Chain A
Amino acid sequence: MEKIEPFGEGFVLALAPEFVLVIGLFTLMIVPNLGDAKFRIPMTQVRIPWFFGGKRGKLDSDPRLPGLFATVFFSLAFLLTAVSFVNGMNRTQIVSGDNVMLQVDEFSRMFELIFFGALALASAASVNRIPATSRNDRSASGLYNNRRQVDFYVLLMTSGLGMAVVALAQDLFLLFIGLELASFSTYVLVAFMKETKEGTEAGMKYFIVGSVASGVGLYGLSLLYLWSGSLQFSELATAFAENGMESLPLIALGMLLVGFGFKVSAAPFHFAAPDAYAGATAPVAGVLATASKAMGVLGLLRVLLIVASPEATDGAAVWLVALAVLSVVTMTWGNLAALGSTNPKRMLAYSSVAHAGYMMAAIAAIGALNWETDHVDLSNDAALVVVTALIFHLTVLVCFKLGAFLVLSLLESEKGGHTLESLGGLAKRDPFLAVAMFIFMMSLAGVPPLSGFVSKLLVIMGIVKVALLDVTVSNDLALADLHWVWYLALAMVINSAISVFYYLRVGLVMYFHEPEEGREGPLPAGGPVRLAILACLVTTVFFGVGAGQLIALAESAANALVGAW
């Protein structure tokens, strides 16, 4: 493992994707403000071209420009991240003295792929979305609208940067800073449609619940610091392994769970999610459901598997039962609530809660592993399967969940998308969108051969593998000999059967119902959105039929995490 001091040799290269985002951030702030302004040197008549302000040019005052810039920079960051996988990952640590701050490995890079991919798609989809006045509009409100474009994408970029920090962080404090950077950006993004009642309400609720959750998490963090004197993952893990059963770290752990539980929208911390998703623009909701959720899962994995490592205790992890119960409650609650929601965005929000439940079930299964010395190899194997399944799931979630939100975003641009009925007759109005939406729904439900099925299968396989780890096949084997986490898999399959109801309903409305009054015509064109939807569609199918490559990639990422303990 290479160690680099901040701004030491190779620092910029090691963090190239992140620096691309930083450059992008400045570009976004500067370029749309360029004009023909001149600066007069005081006391003289000499005017030097200054470029900031004044009358802006045709190109840099184009309201589409920030969106395109953001898309390009996110794509660039995505590509750079992807390139780092080619020829083997160059694992690097950014250290400050003895403290490891950031670590570049397959695991963090994989999550960055998820983040940047989702954000690139979302920003591409937003290009036509925000009310933009014509670029010839020189009035104050025109300028204002144009500036708002910049605000929106700047916030997307900072959230991306925050997520990247979360992925890289090796220090709990740094992790929290990244989390807060991303969170605060998303609070504003959710409230971005401040002219509408829903937008304001959503932003308010999301902010209040979110900041309370963050506060609780931060308090847990401070308790951990009080207890061990360090927030380094490695040191925390050592301290936890020695005397993690004391009450102080356990309380702290519980509080951290609340903080991350909100991010993954696990019950009972999910109440703000449906409102937030419904009030935000669809691409932002899509980011919340995919990238932001992946960030929460990442945090959970780091805290539960590295800090409060299951290895700390013989037999099952301390948090096993709590997490298992939470996961079943979350998936069931999410699915039942989704059954009753008529707003497609709320429905997708609840389905996202259900998916959080599935993922927590998988994490709980890791907690059930036994880490006694003679068992470590077996357990490592099983944990690898589960973490791979999780990473695979989070990756393909970007394809179909974000894809579904993007379809809704096209409906939103004709003021629809808030009721299921506004999807009516979509099959007639726009066959491509209807087919795409139907495939996304089927993938969410887990119908083969789509990627949603493979991801669900992998999660089930991971849980079952854990449940069967200590089973020796003999003639007396009975169901009771399986570890009880097997029932988590059962809960999961029953839940995914329930979920078919509401996913199918979307298909029924699109193919069966007549279009609403005034919605008979074709949908707005929106080239970039459609391109993004097409990308989601292709990957949804591709990662289902040809899952092998992505599984291998996810496995290498999981190896980086599991190998680390």
Chain B
Amino acid sequence: MTTDWISLPLVGMPLISSIVLLAYVAYVSPAAREKIGPTVRMATLVLSLLMLVLTTAMFFGDNYIEGTLDWASLSFGSFNYEFQYDWIESLGIHWSVGMDALSFPMVWLTTFLLPITIVATWHEKNAAVYFPLVLMMGGALIGVFVALDLFMFYVFWELTLIPMFFLILKWGGYDRKYASQKFFIYTFTASVIMLLGLVTVYFLQPENLAHAGTWTGRTFDIPTLTAHAQSANAGGEWFLGVGLQKVLFVMLMIGFLVKLPSVPFHTWLPDAHVQAPTGGSMLLAGVMLKMGAYGMFRLPLALFPHAAEHFQFWLLALGMVSLVWGAVVCLGQTNLKKMVAYSSVSHMGVILIGIATMQPLGWAAALFMMFAHGIISPMLFAVCGAFKHHYHSMEIGAMRGMAKHSPWLATSMMFGWMASLGLPLLAGFVAELMMFLALWHFIAAEGWSVLWMVGPAFVLAITAAYYLWSMQRTIFEGGEATQPPASLNGQPVPDITDAEKWAMVIMAAFTILFGVMPWIALDMMNGWTVAFFETLLIPILTGGA
């Protein structure tokens, strides 16, 4: 491979161009700022579309980009488009990028959501600042997924906080100050604990592995560390010892569980979502939450499989509680966006359960859930945003009989809700079904009580209940007496704008696409999972059998 397709086109370009745009916008006068808004918006849209074209070409691989390996058959520990530059040599820090089948779907998802977000929030106020921030967010998110160096990973991990902080702060709802602060502090606290764990791992590795620093003799290189941990974990041995591996596993997991988020660390999410602007919510739910799950696969599960097995029960319990609690809380919500936010918590529970089963099927389910939820939940938040935008309220009862007055919004809402509750032939169903099978497998294999299935099964019913109930109260019920909403002051009830229609249609189309033909994404996820289990987990956890 001779060309670095990642560093500049996917990470550097969005970051640099957004900073340049912001600097320019800060430079011009406030009056001109209004005027250049549409131009800036168009520029960010074009740039993000270019990124989407590139990642889509990457998906088709070596037909378009020379030397690409097939995503589904990448062996464990090898990456496409891998590139490494020296950064801080003395400490073993490199700018190191690459993608495998774990990160590629997330990168594609980010580039897919960027233009969608821009289109869906086409009329956002203060456009000249808003759209560059969205673009910056995209660059930082991709940076997290492509980083193959712990330092770089952490840098981008934290960098995502800053544009999101400003998105919530400047375009958020009435309580945005509290929400943005809570969001920042929660995730920052978790990640500094993770950082200490990472530094401890750094100094516990033997000296002079590959890519080691000239001064410390240690490396931050993730593939090197993973490969070393793999050999150190083999044969019943625990990498870094039994006690310490558990501690470090927990320290890393705290960082990722808060981001995911899992109960009991989830309380920042509803606040952040309710206050965030539509675009912020779309990226937050669509990609940022997945950073947590992605991080788990990339670091603690690969480095500390023994500890993961040790804490399997607790992970399962956390996932179960998130799943059930998130769903139950949804029932009681009167705020549309809060309900969707809690449903995200519930769906993240699915991911956690999938991981906790320690079954290839469960992991593939988790990976697919990350992807499917990444397409569906932005649609949900786009619907919520449109609802708020047009009816000036987020309360579920504020608008009734929407089907008659705003058919487009009503249809989008219904579609999104159905996709989220797991209607067959839509993307969410595939992931949920796989998770159930994996959990069933696991329970049967371990001889656990069948009661463990009750919670998830029950959640299916609850999910259907809260979604259908909210639909009934917004789309159908009502009649002439209860609408239009009082907040419209007697003006005619509007439907969504053309830009929003486009965004909805595209998201819906892809939800159907990945529901009907899940193998487009599932093949590579499956390939990655199988490679991970065959090369890393099975030899280690079964004692090299």
Q: CB < 8 Å: which of A464, A477, A500, A555 contacts B215?
A: A555
Could you say which of B154, B203, B215, B216 has the most chain A C-beta atoms within 10 Å of its C-beta? B203
- B170 in the interface (beta carbon within 8 A): yes
Return chain A residues, CB-CB under 8 Å to B232: 473
Given contacts A385-B216, A496-B192, A504-B184, contact A471 B204 (CB under 8 A): yes
**Stretch from A366-374, A400-408, A412-420, A478-486 contacting the other chain:** A478-486
CB distance from B343 to the nearest CB of A (A): 29
Write out the residue numbers on chain B whose beta carbons fall within 8 Å of the beta carbon of A504.
165, 181, 184-185
Are the C-beta atoms of B243 and A480 separated by less than 8 Å?
A: yes
**Chain A residue with minimal CB distance to B158?**
A448
Residue B538 lies at the interface, judged by CB distance under 8 Å to chain A: no
Expressed in whole angstroms, the Cα–Cα distance for A212 and B470 within the complex equals 71
The answer to whether B90 and A508 have CB atoms under 8 Å apart is: no
Cα separation A18 to B203 with both chains bound (whole Å):
41
Cβ of A507: which chain B residues have Cβ within 8 Å of it? 165
Closest to A465 in B: B203
Residue contact A512 to B242, C-beta cutoff 8 Å = no
**Binary contact readout A467-500 vs B (1 if CB under 8 angstroms, 0 otherwise):** 0100101111111111000100110011011001
Contact status A477-B195, CB under 8 Å: no
Tell me the nearest residue of chain A to B247, going by C-beta: A479
CB neighbors of A among B224-260 (8 A): 232, 237-238, 240-245, 247
Binds B, one of A48-56, A94-102, A150-158, A544-552: A544-552
- Indicate whether B166 reaches chain A with its CB closer than 8 angstroms: yes
A114 to chain B, nearest CB (A): 20
Cβ of B67 under 8 Å from chain A: no
Binary B-proximity of A530-565 (CB < 8 A = 1, otherwise 0): 000000000000000001100110010000000000
Whether A493 touches B181, Cβ cut-off 8 Å, given contacts A447-B158, A468-B204, is no
A435 within 8 A of B: yes
Q: Does A511 contact B (CB under 8 A)?
A: yes
Q: What's the Cα separation between A208 and B310 when bound, in Å? A: 59
A457 within 8 A of B: yes
- Nearest B residue to A552 via CB reads B90
How distant is A435 from chain B, measured CB to nearest CB, in Å? 7
Contacting pair B90 A473 (CB below 8 A): no
Q: Are B241 and A474 in contact (CB under 8 A)?
A: yes
A461 within 8 A of B: yes
B487 contacts partner chain A, Cβ-Cβ < 8 Å: no
Q: How many A residues have CB within 8 A of the partner chain?
A: 48
Chain A neighbourhood of B204, CB < 8 A: 468, 471, 473
Contact A449-B244, Cβ < 8 Å, known A442-B162, A551-B91:
no
Does B87 interact with chain A (Cβ within 8 Å)? yes
- B243 contacts A551, C-beta separation under 8 Å: no
Alpha-carbon separation in the docked complex, A449 to B153 (Å): 11
CB neighbours (8 Å) of A505 from chain B are: 181
Residues of A contacting B243 with CB < 8 Å?
A: 476-481
- Would you call A527 an interface residue if the criterion is a C-beta within 8 Å of the partner chain's C-beta atoms? no
> Interface readout for A495-524 with B: 1 if CB under 8 Å, 0 if not?
011001100110110011000000000000
Minimal beta-carbon separation of A423 from chain B (angstroms)? 15
Shortest Cβ distance from A11 into chain B, in angstroms? 35
B-facing residues in A425-460 (Cβ within 8 Å): 431-432, 435, 442, 445-449, 453, 457, 460
> A42 → chain B, closest Cβ, in Å?
66
Contact B169 A475, beta carbon cutoff 8 Å:
no
Q: Is the CB of A497 within 8 A of B200?
A: no
Taking a contact as CB atoms under 8 Å apart, the answer to whether B237 and A475 are in contact is yes
Set of chain A residues within 8 Å of B159, measured between Cβ atoms = 448-449
Instruction: Choose among A446, A477, A511 the residue with the greatest number of B CB atoms under 10 Å from its CB.
Output: A477
B26 at the interface (CB under 8 A from A): yes
- Mask for B146-173, Cβ within 8 A of A = 1, else 0? 0000010011001101100110011000
Which of these, A446, A486, A494, A551, contacts B90 with CB under 8 Å?
A551
Q: Does B196 contact A (CB under 8 A)?
A: yes
Q: Chain B contacts of A493 at CB under 8 A?
A: 192-193, 195-196
Task: For B189, give its contact among A486, A497, A511 (CB under 8 Å).
Answer: A497
B244→A477 contact, CB < 8 A: yes
Give the residues in chain A near B193, CB-CB below 8 Å.
493-494, 497
Q: Which residues of A contact B184 (CB under 8 A)?
A: 500, 504
Q: Are A447 and B200 in contact (CB under 8 A)?
A: no
A435 CA to B151 CA, complexed, in Å: 25
User: Nearest-CB distance from B323 to chain A (Å)?
Assistant: 28
B206 contacts the other chain (CB 8 A): yes
Evaluate contact between A548 and B88: CB separation under 8 angstroms: yes
When distances are taken between beta carbons in the complex, the residues of chain B under 8 Å from A385 are: 216
Q: Chain A: which residue is nearest B22 at the CB level?
A: A435
Question: Is B211 an interface residue, CB under 8 A from the partner?
Answer: no
Q: Is the CB of A512 within 8 A of B177?
A: yes
B-chain residues with CB within 8 Å of residue A496 when the two chains form the complex:
192
Nearest B-chain residue to A547, judged by Cβ: B88
B:476-497 near A, CB below 8 Å: none
Is B202's CB within 8 Å of the partner chain A? yes
A448 and B203 form a contact (CB under 8 A): no
Tell me if B199 is interfacial: C-beta within 8 Å of chain A.
Answer: yes
* A325–B158 alpha-carbon span in the complex (Å): 30
Which A residue sits closest to B306, measured CB to CB? A475
CA distance A134 to B509 in the complex (A): 72
Q: Report the Cα distance A473→B245, complex, angstroms.
A: 11
Instruction: Report the Cα distance A512→B154, complex, angstroms.
Output: 28
B188 within 8 A of A: yes
Contact A508 B181, beta carbon cutoff 8 Å:
yes
State A474–B202 Cα separation when bound (angstroms).
16
Q: Which residues of A contact B185 (CB under 8 A)?
A: 497, 500-501, 504
Cβ of A80 to closest chain B Cβ, rounded Å: 27
Given A457-B195, A493-B195, A548-B87, are A477 and B241 neighbors across the interface (CB < 8 Å)?
yes
Question: B523 at interface (Cβ–Cβ under 8 A)?
Answer: no
**Of residues B180, B196, B204, which shows the largest number of chain A Cβ atoms within 10 Å of its Cβ?**
B196
Nearest-neighbor residue (CB-CB) of B170 within chain A:
A511
Task: Flag whether B124 is at the interface (Cβ < 8 A).
Answer: no
Chain B residues, Cβ within 8 Å of A465: 203, 216
Known A508-B177, A512-B177; contact A473-B240, beta-carbon cutoff 8 A: yes
B156: nearest chain-A partner, CB-CB: A448
Interface members, chain A 298-326 (any B CB < 8 Å): none
Q: Are B199 and A448 in contact (CB under 8 A)?
A: no
The residue in chain B whose Cβ has the minimal distance to the Cβ of A477 is: B241
Residue B89, interface by CB 8 Å: yes
Within 8 A of A (CB), among B175-216: 177, 180-181, 184-185, 188-189, 192-193, 195-196, 199-200, 202-204, 206, 215-216
B195 and A447 form a contact (CB under 8 A)? no
Contact A477–B87 (Cβ < 8 Å): no
Complex: A507 Cα to B168 Cα, angstroms: 13
CA–CA, A465 to B241, complex, Å? 17
Q: List CB contacts (< 8 Å) of B123-163 with chain A.
A: 151, 154-155, 158-159, 161-162
Cβ of B192 and Cβ of A497 under 8 Å apart? yes
A548 touching B196, Cβ below 8 Å:
no
Between B88, B151, B202, B240, the greatest number of chain A beta carbons within 10 A of the residue's beta carbon is seen for B88
| Shortest Cβ gap from A378 to chain B (Å) | 11
Residue pairs across A and B with Cβ atoms less than 8 A apart, 14 shown, are A432-B26, A453-B158, A461-B91, A464-B196, A478-B242, A482-B244, A489-B199, A493-B193, A500-B184, A500-B185, A501-B181, A504-B184, A511-B170, A548-B87
7 additional contacts, CB 8 Å, given A453-B155, A479-B244, A511-B170? Answer: A471-B204, A476-B242, A482-B244, A493-B193, A493-B196, A500-B188, A552-B90
Q: Closest 9 interchain pairs by CB?
A: A477-B241, A478-B243, A497-B189, A448-B155, A493-B192, A548-B88, A431-B26, A468-B203, A477-B244
Residues on A lying within 8 angstroms of B by beta carbon are 385, 431-432, 435, 442, 445-449, 453, 457, 460-461, 464-465, 468, 471, 473-482, 486, 489-490, 493-494, 496-497, 500-501, 504-505, 507-508, 511-512, 547-548, 551-552, 555
Which residues of B are in contact with A by a Cβ distance under 8 Å?
A: 26, 87-91, 151, 154-155, 158-159, 161-162, 165-166, 169-170, 177, 180-181, 184-185, 188-189, 192-193, 195-196, 199-200, 202-204, 206, 215-216, 232, 237-238, 240-245, 247
